[in-house]
Amino acid sequence: MKTNKEAFGDYLLLEKKYSAHTVQAYLNDVVSFESFVSESFEQESIDLVNYSQVRSWIVFLVEQGISNVSINRKMASLKAFYRFLLKSKQIEINPMLKHKALKVPKVVQIPFSEKELKDLLSEIDFPVGFQEVRDKLIVEMFYVTGMRRAELIHLMIKNVDLSSGVIKVLGKRNKERIIPILPMIVNQIRVYIKERDSLGDIEDFDYFFISKKGLKLSESFVYRLINSYFSRVSEKVKKSPHVLRHTFATHLLNNGADLNSVKELLGHSSLASTQVYTHNSLAELKKVYKGAHPRGD
């Protein structure tokens, strides 16, 4: 018979469609809380804890120097765990019912400017060859599709449809979405595929982006690639695939795209997730308004 934690893991993986990595993170948080309750209250089961015990864990984590962001993530894991126990009728009262997330300072994501993208893609010399063609295409794909790093890494060659000018990506919770690609990117993809085919034996053939050895790319490799290239044209502190995703959304909104369209392109389940990208667009709007209005001086 499965334990509550094992059943919870199966629920997240099979019903909620969370990735194996996310499921493990949730379970690690539940196990950490279980250890705390055992040591602090000599209580073996966490099925019937009360909120004061949860509060004690929060105080303990704060005293350990854990950030509010990390604590909120742990609390989200507990909330999901107890919702599952309630749903499966293993408890009658959810101890996390009235929990409120700790306040965290809002971190403003600063996108790359259009000039920085232009400088990178037009002025930096990308030598001819498989790796260089692939690297430039990766930068372009992030910028013209807004896809996540994991989505780019797991992009399948069968899901790149050059005749229709679209790609199909597998997003969070295994949700598929179709993203259009620009004609100029279609041409670059053709060049990349030609270079890719010249590699000969490819072990991870199903994956679109691969290493020179024919293997699927790692998340750390893609992060280092983006960070390295943008370090040449940008002094921003954070230079990552996620900043490129943020840049994609911001530039679309700045140039007149409506929020719902950007939401669909990003693969967000609600507008609330997309609205985080609008603050830069609002800043741009204020700038235009101030410059155009007669009383703007």
Q: In the prediction, which pLDDT does 52 show?
A: 95
Q: Where are the beta strands (DSSP E) in 155-254?
A: 160-161, 166-170, 176-180
Q: In the prediction, which pLDDT does 39 show?
A: 95
Q: In the prediction, which pLDDT does 127 show?
A: 66
CB of 23 closer than 8 Å to CB of 13 = yes
Q: In the prediction, which pLDDT does 44 show?
A: 87
Q: In the prediction, which pLDDT does 164 show?
A: 93
- Is 192 catalytic? The answer is no
What's the burial of 270, exposed, middle or buried (CB within 10 Å: 0-12/13-18/19+)?
Answer: exposed
Q: Distance between CA 171 and CA 116 in Å, rounded?
A: 27
- Is 245 catalytic? The answer is yes
pLDDT tens, residue by residue, 236-289: 888 999 999 999 999 998 888 888 888 999 998 888 778 777 766 666 656 655
Question: What number of residues does the chain have?
Answer: 297
Q: Distance between CA 131 and CA 11 in Å, rounded?
A: 41
Query: Which residue in the list 79, 83, 172, 279 is annotated as catalytic?
Result: 172
Query: Which residue in the list 154, 239, 251, 268 is annotated as catalytic?
Result: 268
What radius of gyration do the chain's Cα atoms show? Answer: 23
pLDDT tens, residue by residue, 21-67: 899 999 999 999 999 999 999 998 898 899 999 999 999 999 999 99
Phi (first) and psi of residue 5, to 5 degrees: -65, -40
Query: Which residue in the list 74, 99, 134, 148 is annotated as catalytic?
Result: 148
What's the burial of 241, exposed, middle or buried (CB within 10 Å: 0-12/13-18/19+)?
Answer: buried
Query: Which residue in the list 99, 136, 149, 245 is annotated as catalytic?
Result: 245
Give percent of the chain above pLDDT 90.
68
CB of 156 closer than 8 Å to CB of 207 = yes
pLDDT tier for residue 174 given thresholds of 50, 70 and 90 = confident
- Is 55 catalytic? The answer is no
Whether the pTM exceeds 0.85: the reply is no
Query: What is the pLDDT averaged over residues 64-75?
Result: 94
